Amino acid sequence: MNNPPRPAPSITVTLAELIEMRHRVREVQLFSRPGQRSPLIGLHHSKLRGRGVDFDQVRVYQAGDDVRNIDWRVTARTQEPHTKLFHEERERPIFILVEQSRQLFFGSAVAFKSTLAAQVAALFGWATLEHNDRIGGLVYGDQEHYEIKPRRSKQSLLQLLNRLARVNAALSTDALPAADPLGSALRRAREVLRPGSLGIVICDERALSDATEQQLSLLARHCDLLLLPISDPLDHALPAAGLLRFGLGAAQLEVDTSDAELRRGYQALAEARRARWERLGQKLGVLVLPLSTRADAVDQLREYTSSRPKPGARPDVRPGAKPASPPSTGAAQ
């Protein structure tokens, strides 16, 4: 019995499709809700740098409460330890940096990397509005970037998604790749993000370099970060398909994929890139959630919520790993 042919990857994404992502927000819990903490982004209940907190109520002290928050006046009056509870400021600025470069205009599985990045950005954008936070972002590519300032407004998100869809539709293999689009985007983010904001970085996994790592370290000093490097299965392993030809403008490259040593070396480079993202997450104390064009974005994020990742951690994505881990993803360079 022959297997059915694999459908062609989704090459581009439309504004209508990005708007439709709002119906999938409830399929995965991206933000904490009252009495329901998100394993992915419980950042709304963490001690955020530079953010204000408001007094909420006093209740009886419970084991594990911070002793520094004991209300001594109420404790003295009632003869029973009481602690103060606080909640954080509302309308947190959330800034989505999403790459739409020639480097992402590729895919061998469910979607192109550029399309997956756009879908993930839309999903986080709609989740932000549902959580009553301010949404803004930066769509950046090889030659230019488009910035939307954070506002708690559906119109602000629609502006971001409209720009994202237009840049996505304009991608082609004819464009010349920029030297460091992520570095430029991060430098701009450092200029506009207020302390305590959440920066969501959706980029090609190969974008991590010494310069971008330094920019991320500087940004993490006053903002919370969530890093989502995007990859394709062919970023991690070459098939034994004989002689393959690659082109970039007038430049041509031939690769003999029947060479087992070459394939091992290629896979080793991919492993090194993944390990570098993991080390960066551990160093900065931020979540790194690699995503792959191998599977649906919502499905991958849902699996992350069930695995409850820790800062810097990544799932087991080795060949043959158990399906309890999120789909094969990775980091780059």
3-state SS track over 27-59: HCCCCCECCECCCCCCHHHCCCCCCCEEEEEEE
Q: Is 164 helix (H, G, I), strand (E, B) or coil?
A: helix
Looking at the predicted structure, is the pLDDT value of residue 310 above 70?
no
Q: What is the mean pLDDT of residues 120-137?
A: 94
pLDDT category of residue 3 using cuts at 50, 70 and 90: low
Q: Which residue has the higher pLDDT, 168 or 253?
A: 168
Instruction: Give the span between the Cα atoms of 186 and 232, in whole angstroms.
Output: 23
Instruction: Give the span between the Cα atoms of 253 and 129, in whole angstroms.
Output: 46
Is the distance from CB of 328 to CB of 292 less than 8 angstroms? yes
Q: Which residue has the higher pLDDT, 292 or 86?
A: 292
Query: What are the Cα distances from residue 283, in Å, to 233, 246, 287?
Result: 27, 36, 11
Q: Hey, what amino acid is at 191? A: E
Looking at the predicted structure, is the pLDDT value of residue 271 above 50?
yes
Lowest mean pLDDT among 37-46, 110-119, 150-159, 318-327: 318-327
The whole-number pLDDT of residue 90 equals: 58
pTM: 0.76
In a 13 Å sphere around the CA of 240, the CA atoms on its Cβ side amount to: 5
pLDDT category of residue 195 using cuts at 50, 70 and 90: confident
The whole-number pLDDT of residue 259 equals: 87
The whole-number pLDDT of residue 244 equals: 80
- Summarize pLDDT for 36-49 with one digit per residue, the tens: 555 555 444 433 33
Q: What is the mean pLDDT of residues 277-306?
A: 93
Looking at the predicted structure, is the pLDDT value of residue 86 above 70?
no
Highest averaged pLDDT of the listed ranges 45-54, 89-98, 140-149, 242-251: 140-149
The whole-number pLDDT of residue 29 equals: 83
Instruction: Give the span between the Cα atoms of 333 and 328, in whole angstroms.
Output: 16
Q: Which residue has the higher pLDDT, 83 or 121?
A: 121
pLDDT category of residue 331 using cuts at 50, 70 and 90: very low
Q: What's the mean pLDDT when you consider all of the chain?
A: 82
Q: How far from each other are the two terminal CA atoms of the chain, in whole angstroms?
A: 40
Helix count (H) and strand count (E) of the chain?
Answer: 9, 11
Looking at the predicted structure, is the pLDDT value of residue 59 above 60?
yes
